[in-house]
Structure 1
Amino acid sequence: MSRMGRPTVRLELTEDERETLVRWSRRASSSQALALRSRIVLACAEPEATDGSVAAAMQVSRPTVARWRKRFAARRLQGLCDEPRPGRPPSITIDRIEDVVITTLEQTPENATHWSRASMAKHSGLSKTTIGRIWNRFDLKPHVADTFKISNDPLFFDKVVDVVGLYLDPPVGAIVLCVDEKSQIQALDRSAPVLPMMPGMPERRTHDYVRHGVTTLFAAFDTATGEVITAIHRRHRTTEFRKFLNRIDREVPDDLDVHLICDNYQTHKTPEIKRWLEKHPRFHIHYTPTYSSWLNQVERWFAYLTGQLLQRGVHKNLQALERDLRNWVDTWNAEPKPFVWTKTAEEILGKLGRLCERISRSGH
């Protein structure tokens, strides 16, 4: 029996409408809601497009696609804008708001790298409070800057697929260990005693400190159980890394293959390490792509260690620091917590592709 329902509204766009929709969908100053609506309408205008196919492509629900298809058919471009709300009409026109948003995104003030509320208020003639509300409405934070780094590894695709495959579908009869070293861990002592927290007053410490040397923590994080094999050495050369591999070899049962996930630090690739791996055929090493330490789960574990022990720790000598490191690891291993990896290689590569597309559209 064929399904009965309302017929789909067909959309035919004029050249001006298509040009405007494309501009709205790509322009950085458009709100994300308007950009999504524009992409939905453009997709609906394609031959043989259905609500279901557009919803799948846009990753939205079918009712959402149907709503904007009908709104556009009834009111054209104006139908994609938000409905006016009851109450006193706004005292600032849409054009002035758009000017603030576009200026924030596409220009910089004189003698400054980014806008402040004061400089934008002076430039636009609006109050600093109004500028703050506009930026908050469009989630604009000119004072915040983040960083990113795109790997230039020619084998990036293959390495991502390899490492993520070990996380999501580990081999039978094997253990997967994320291996790295946290070097230059400093034993820091404050120049005055730390003042403890009191009601209405946070813990207080001096901004200066005294260094008492550095040490290195080698760690192998078991992705299945969350347990960690560790070793502490004062240096982090090939010799120390080989000693750590020997420790892993002793602690992992002989009947298991060992898959090691490492970064591209030169110590992990020296001829001595390669000879060691040849003599231990149950060990298989997998390298993460260049500039992709986020792919190694032990880095997340190091972040826990830093936040819970090192960031606010006070140590008067290296021995005290190393003792605290061992105690912290023992406590972790008493109740280990594996990390749940959910992203597939396809999702990671797709997100990277979208980032590269944004970079190419930025014109830089």
Structure 2
Amino acid sequence: MPTRPAVPVMLAASERHRLKKMAYGHKTPHHARQRATIVLLAAQGRSNARIAAEVRVCVDTVRTWRGRFARGGLAALADRKRSGRPPSFTALQVAEVKALACQLPAETGVPLSRWSCPELAREVVTRGIARSISTSTVRRRLKNDALKPWQYRSWIFIRDPDFRTKAAHVLDLYAHTFEGVPLGEDEYVISSDEKTSIQARCRCHPTLAPGQARAMRVNHTYGRGGALAYLAAYDVHRAKVFGRCEARTGIDPFMALVAQVMSQEPYASAKRVFWIVDNGSSHRGKKAADRLTKAFPNTVMIHTPVHASWTNQVEIFFSVVQRKVVTPNDFTNLDQIRDRLRAFEDRYNATAQPFQWKFTTSDLDDLLARLDRHTADHPEESSAVLAA
């Protein structure tokens, strides 16, 4: 019986490029890589039997994909639509699984803090929603609606009655204005706060530098070498940092930081220097503002709203310190921390640029409007906040 001749395959340059990406791509599915390889070998004029031996498939498989490509091109290498197996779960069952995932476990009487896919699968069977269901099926159904009940985010409701006024003062200062009047060239804005409890953790074994195919290794066990507080004042518009290390926070350490800054030019002879601070005990309330003005008459203390330290730009600098200086924590003593922080200040000030702060008072009004609408739609949450 004569052998059926192989279908000739001709490739355009673009087709060859795409087939090579499919055949050698690390993330290409196995079946797509296999089909692309068959077509590439067929384009070289090889026989079906030889291709089958090289790709390790049967000759009929080579003949099928070679013929499909010859008739339909790259699109023919994809799987054809199939009716598939009938669905195992009805639309109502799928909706009930998703509804269960959108409830807190405590509300349903289950002693869990949050759902996981295995726990959801178990609860679905317990409630009789389905006779049986696998964890992967639950995960696949939730994925369709981007539901991830095992994740959570914390948030805090606005509790400061003067939130809008206080936040607007801070945001306006970032935009070079105060009470509707542009700041002059001899007026400056300082953002200040304390980073507490920076520990000296003396590792029991030396830290190993990264190597080929190996991350830096830091020993898990350590001895405690004490802790200190890092106080920093950040000139918002000049991107200059002034810092100092203290044994603890308090009024005296904070005033020492203020004196460190205000004794230098251009702040000593400035018309006004605005100090943005949060509501920590070192600088809380009117007494702290009066104390600051008494010591340095050209200063004005501006408080951020309660629970709104995110409006204080120095927190961004502290996040930089945490990533680049403190983590991973491997210091032999507190003096090493002080030296590292002082050296980092010099390094930072040499190249620093002002932070690109984009949140304005207009954005603030939009945020408050959304919160008002949310509170109006959920009055029980507002009542709970007021009761707290």
One-letter identity of the residue aligned with 1:95: L
Determine whether 1:95 maps to 2:92. yes
* Conserved? CA contact 1:238–1:273, under 8 Å: no
SS at match of 1:251: coil
SS at match of 1:315: coil
CA RMSD of aligned residues (A): 2.4
* Conserved? CA contact 1:242–1:273, under 8 Å: no
Of 270, 273, 278, the match for 1:255: 270
CA separation in 2, counterparts of 1:88 and 1:341? 54
Determine whether 1:267 maps to 2:282. yes
SS at match of 2:300: strand
One-letter identity of the residue aligned with 1:222: D
What displacement does 1:107 show? 4.5
What number of residue pairs does the alignment pair up? Answer: 279
* Conserved? CA contact 2:273–2:300, under 8 Å: yes
CA separation in 1, counterparts of 2:92 and 2:265? 67
The aligned runs of 1:138-153 (5 Å cut-off) are 138-153=145-160
Match of 1:191 in 2: 204
SS at match of 1:301: helix
Match of 1:172 in 2: 184
SS at match of 1:220: strand
Match of 1:309 in 2: 325
| Structure having the higher Rg | 2
**What percentage of residue pairs aligned between the two structures are identical?**
25
Of 240, 244, 256, the match for 1:243: 256
CA separation in 1, counterparts of 2:205 and 2:195? 27
One-letter identity of the residue aligned with 2:154: T
The aligned runs of 1:157-236 (5 Å cut-off) are 157-170=164-177, 171-173=183-185, 174-236=187-249
Deviations 1:243-276 (A, max 9, x none): 1111111224113421111001121147476234
What displacement does 1:356 show? 5.8
* Conserved? CA contact 2:278–2:284, under 8 Å: no
Deviations 1:58-77 (A, max 9, x none): xxxxxxxxxxxxxxxxxxxx
Instruction: Check 1:256–1:351 CA distance in 2 against 1; reply closer, same or farther (3 A cut).
Output: same
Give unpaired runs (5+ residues) of structure 1.
1-85
CA separation in 2, counterparts of 1:255 and 1:112? 58
Give unpaired runs (5+ residues) of structure 2.
1-80, 125-131, 178-182, 382-388
TM-score, scaled to structure 1: 0.70
Instruction: Check 1:342–1:353 CA distance in 2 against 1; reply closer, same or farther (3 A cut).
Output: same
What displacement does 1:308 show? 1.1
One-letter identity of the residue aligned with 1:98: A
Determine whether 1:288 maps to 2:300. no
Determine whether 1:337 maps to 2:353. yes
Which segment is superposed worse, 193-202 or 236-245?
193-202
* Conserved? CA contact 1:184–1:216, under 8 Å: yes
CA separation in 1, counterparts of 2:96 and 2:214? 44
Deviations 1:80-100 (A, max 9, x none): xxxxxx864783543333222
Which segment is superposed worse, 231-240 or 201-210?
201-210
CA separation in 2, counterparts of 1:318 and 1:273? 32
Which segment is superposed worse, 347-356 or 308-317?
347-356
Match of 1:81 in 2: none
SS at match of 2:318: helix
CA separation in 2, counterparts of 1:297 and 1:122? 47
Instruction: Check 1:357–1:106 CA distance in 2 against 1; reply closer, same or farther (3 A cut).
Output: farther
Determine whether 1:328 maps to 2:325. no
TM-score, scaled to structure 2: 0.66
Deviations 1:23-57 (A, max 9, x none): xxxxxxxxxxxxxxxxxxxxxxxxxxxxxxxxxxx
What displacement does 1:287 show? 0.2
Deviations 1:154-196 (A, max 9, x none): 2111101111111123422311111111122111111222233
